[in-house]
Structure 1
Amino acid sequence: MGFRSWFGHGPQKAVRRVVRSHRTDVVLTQAPLVTSAGEAWAFATRAELLVISAPEAPGGADNQGGGDPESRGAPSVVVQREWADVDRATYEAEANVLRVHWVDGDEPTALALDGRRSVLPQVLRERVEWSVVLAEPVKLPGGRSARVAVRRRADGELFSQVIGGSDVDVTDPRTASLIDAAEARVRGAAGLPA
């Protein structure tokens, strides 16, 4: 898929240049985002999620008000994360917001879709599911839980991850033992050294 959307509206040239300079493969889909600060786009590539923002130029020139779209501020990469960094995503249909949750516990990224027909939620789901080779939930003392997973990068490299909430104390010997045992099982099942 090129940079043109289904409705003929695509990102400005400066945004397209930034995408080309930051991606390693083809764009699978793109979606314009709602923002109060200019133009923003989400791009799903085979390897990663990119979010590019082009703020309004000083003086507030914008596309809607008849200003030159190329007069916006310099576009910048707001998010550039590989699919294996995504824990999960939730879609709030009423608000048309896709919320991406990260495995490292960073604040979720909210992508406010602009209302046009978009396959971004489906592509995001497919890419994240592709990155998960094996996963196992781990029940921990005190009713807490974690997950261990073997994930895949775009180049095919396999690696293991431990995903737990902020209430999971991995320095606790019993917790560490349960997580280590689960991680060894999924690594072994995937053919990785335990």
Structure 2
Amino acid sequence: MALFSRRRRLPDAVRRRLDLLPDDAVLAAAPLDGGRWAVVSRRALHLVDADPDAPVARAPWSDVDRGTLDAEARTLTVHWVSGARTDLPLADDPAARDVAQTFRERVQQSVVHVEHVTVPTGGRVRVALRRDEDGDLFTQAIGDARVDLRDPATARAVAAAEARVRDEVGLGS
């Protein structure tokens, strides 16, 4: 018995607008309300506007902090490392589930190791060792709203956490 995929094929007009590197590949794609498309590739999240003259928004996975899916509202909210958020209203399409799952997998794949730190001012910082889109490792510090990463005591606590995170995976300081 043969199994058939019901996955929606990415329209050629959308695929042509993607600026994929030779070693990149589309893993999942789904239409968004309003005619836009969310495209998950190995290296990045691509948001393709319905207007063929509009630029394609492309963000490497290391720019994404996390995502939350409101299944009832069919909205995937992208939480960026900058603290900004982008709501992606998914069209009523079976491919939306693939995009949400693959999105989660790609963000998780970019994270190697994480340490949570409470800084002297009482805020919390997540220090992560992540892979950039070329596979190179780097540390990233993401604080909650109460954290001023420029505060000297906070900077020292974050630097110590970065050293520990790097040591945990054998990279040293």
TM tier relative to shorter chain: 0.7 to 0.9
Aligned length: 165
Amino acid corresponding to residue 83 of structure 1 in structure 2 = W
Is the contact made by 1:54 and 1:76 (CA closer than 8 Å) also made in structure 2? no
Amino acid corresponding to residue 127 of structure 2 in structure 1 = V
Deviation at 1:193, TM superposition (A): 3.9
3-state SS of 2:36 partner: strand
**Alignment-derived partner of residue 42 in structure 2:** 46
Q: Which has the larger radius of gyration?
A: 1
Is the contact made by 1:14 and 1:74 (CA closer than 8 Å) also made in structure 2? no
3-state SS of 2:162 partner: helix
**Alignment-derived partner of residue 99 in structure 1:** 77
Amino acid corresponding to residue 184 of structure 1 in structure 2 = A
**Alignment-derived partner of residue 144 in structure 1:** 123
Deviation at 1:93, TM superposition (A): 1.2
**Alignment-derived partner of residue 114 in structure 1:** 91
Cα root mean square deviation, aligned:
1.8
3-state SS of 2:50 partner: strand
**Alignment-derived partner of residue 6 in structure 2:** 6
The alignment's TM-score, normalised by the length of structure 1, stands at: 0.78
Identity of aligned residues (%): 45
Is the contact made by 2:66 and 2:107 (CA closer than 8 Å) also made in structure 1? yes
Alignment of 1:1-194 (within 5 A): 6=6, 10-11=10-11, 13-19=12-18, 22-24=19-21, 25-35=24-34, 39-55=35-51, 73-77=52-56, 79-105=57-83, 107-117=84-94, 118=96, 119-194=98-173
Deviation at 1:7, TM superposition (A): 5.9
Deviation at 1:101, TM superposition (A): 0.5
Deviation at 1:156, TM superposition (A): 1.8
Divergent runs of 4+, >6 A: none
3-state SS of 2:93 partner: coil
Structure 2, unaligned runs of 5 or more = none
3-state SS of 2:153 partner: helix
